Amino acid sequence: MRSTGKLVTMALVVGLAACSTDRFTDLDEFMEEKRSRPGGVIPPIPAFKAYKAFAYSATSLRSPFDRPIEIREISQLQSVSTVEPDETRPKEFLEQFTFDSLAMVGTLSRAGIDWCLIRDPAGGVHRVRVGNFMGRNHGKIVEMTDTYVAVIEIVSDGSDGWVERPRTIKLAGL
């Protein structure tokens, strides 16, 4: 047993001696060189500039992120002072979608009545004609052609009143 213990002790001593070699001399030299250099001066933190409040004065204008509105002369516009949406009117199916999410995909004529085909965001296609409503802002169809549908929306003017806003949907692909 004694000889086995001596062998184990000798193996540990040889193993530890092998681990004591200095393999990081280049790293030690690099660190010593960096430590020997004189210390630099750290520049001070820049002075804090006070925030100046900005008053946004274009709140009544169209959002720059909305599509530009193509305005057409429509003879059926009412006086601005008498405009008010009919809240008692039953809502039509296309009034649940935003105006920009609807697309005109075609026209058809049946029994002498002209219809426009409007695609909703879910992909459904619906027939509409002059007098129908669409869009979330009480949009009433006032004119239809083979290439566009003209709608008059009633939107809030921001001061407890209402104004009419003409909008058009062009035929998809034009």
What's this model's pTM, rounded to 2 decimal places?
Answer: 0.55
DSSP 29: H
- Please compute the mean of the pLDDT values over residues 71-100 and round it to a whole number: 75
Out of 17-21, 76-80, 82-86, 143-147, give the one with best mean pLDDT: 143-147
pLDDT of residue 131: 95
Mind listing the domains of the chain with CATH numbers? 80-170 (2.30.30.830)
Counting Cα atoms < 13 Å in the Cβ hemisphere of 132 gives 19
pLDDT of residue 158: 74
| Residue that the structure tokens 């049946």 belong to | 110
Q: How far is CA 94 from the centre of its chain?
A: 23
